[in-house]
Amino acid sequence: MEDRLQKLLSAAGVCSRRAAEGYIEAGRVTVNGEAARLGAKADPDRDDVRLDGRPLPKRAEAAYLLLNKPRGYVTTLSDEQGRRTVADLTAGCGIRVYPVGRLDLDSEGLLLLTNDGALAQRLTHPSGEAEKTYHVWVRGPAAGAAERLSRLRELEGEPILPAWVETLRQGEGRAVLAVTIRQGKNRQVRRMCAACGLEVERLRRVREHTLELGDLPPGKWRYLTAGEIEALRGGER
């Protein structure tokens, strides 16, 4: 059955669809010995599809991992600066999986990784407005912090959707907040806190989409259950 080349490369676990488009445009992908063009289709059972002269691996079995990312790891599979990556933590699964979304170097918590390119693309599409909940340790004017964050409607002139904010603990000049957002703007929670005069000391994602971090230890991962996978696919048609 024919499919677009970028989908075939993603399904084979060699790269994301976006990266595949760049490989095709750079002339690194061939079909039956001829340089491929963006938008072309091929049948992996009939056509000889290659990346950099090497045949695509057979379609890998779909894998879905939930990782508790510690601070100090970048959300990529490799890093030019030699920093530790989430791929170092998930190498034991034996299948090449890709992060769905990202967590900053100095952030921690729930991170989904998979080789299911179609699901990853749907989950990260801007129209999805998937909820994400973070526990945020802040320093500064803690009194009324939850209310101030909830009232924010723009960041540096850019409109944002309202957040749901709950105070979990509060002391003198410090608080732990639960912040739920429906967007994934760059460093959004940290920027929201800065706009309210709060310094983020620690940020941990505890929920995303239908997934919850639970008591998974930092640096450890587990496979999603069948029920969790089904729930993530709930919006597919």
User: Where are the chain's structural domains?
Assistant: 3-55, 64-127+213-235, 131-208
Per-residue model confidence (pLDDT) at position 49:
93
Note the pLDDT of residue 237: 37
Give the pLDDT confidence score for residue 200 in this predicted structure.
97
Fold of 3-55: 3.10.290
CA 170 to chain centre: 30
**pLDDT at residue 92, rounded to an integer:** 85
**CA–CA dist 119, 130 (Å, integer):** 13
Residue 187 has pLDDT above 50, yes or no: yes
* Active-site residue (options: 45, 79, 104, 116): 104
Choice between 127 and 161, residue whose per-residue pLDDT is larger? 161
Q: Which residues pair with 9 in a beta bridge?
A: none
CATH of 64-127+213-235, one of 1.10.238.10, 1.10.10.10, 3.30.479.10, 3.30.70.580: 3.30.70.580
What's residue 61's pLDDT?
A: 78
> Which pLDDT does position 134 carry in this prediction?
98
> Whole-angstrom Cα distance, residue 154 to residue 158?
5
What is the tens place of the pLDDT at every residue in 61-119? 789 999 999 999 999 988 889 999 999 999 888 788 899 988 999 999 999 999 888 88
Q: May I ask the CATH class of domain 131-208?
A: alpha beta
Q: Indicate if 3 belongs to the active site.
A: no
| Cα 126-132-99 angle, rounded to 5 deg | 70
User: What pLDDT shows up at residue 121?
Assistant: 83
The pairing of beta strand 108-114 with beta strand 199-208: parallel
* pLDDT exceeds 50 at position 140: yes
Contact assessment for residue 111 and residue 75, using Cβ atoms and an 8 Å cutoff: yes
The residues, any chain, with a CB within 8 Å of residue 191's CB and separated by 6 or more, are 155, 156, 185
CA angle 111, 115, 116 (to 5 degrees): 100
Domains 64-127+213-235 and 131-208 share a fold: yes
pLDDT confidence of residue 96: 84
Query: Are residues 65 and 26 in contact, defined by beta-carbon separation less than 8 angstroms?
Result: no
23-50 pLDDT, tens per residue? 999 999 999 999 999 999 999 888 999 9
Closest CA to 205 of 68, 99, 28: 68
Distance CA 175, CA 219 (A): 25
SS3 88: helix
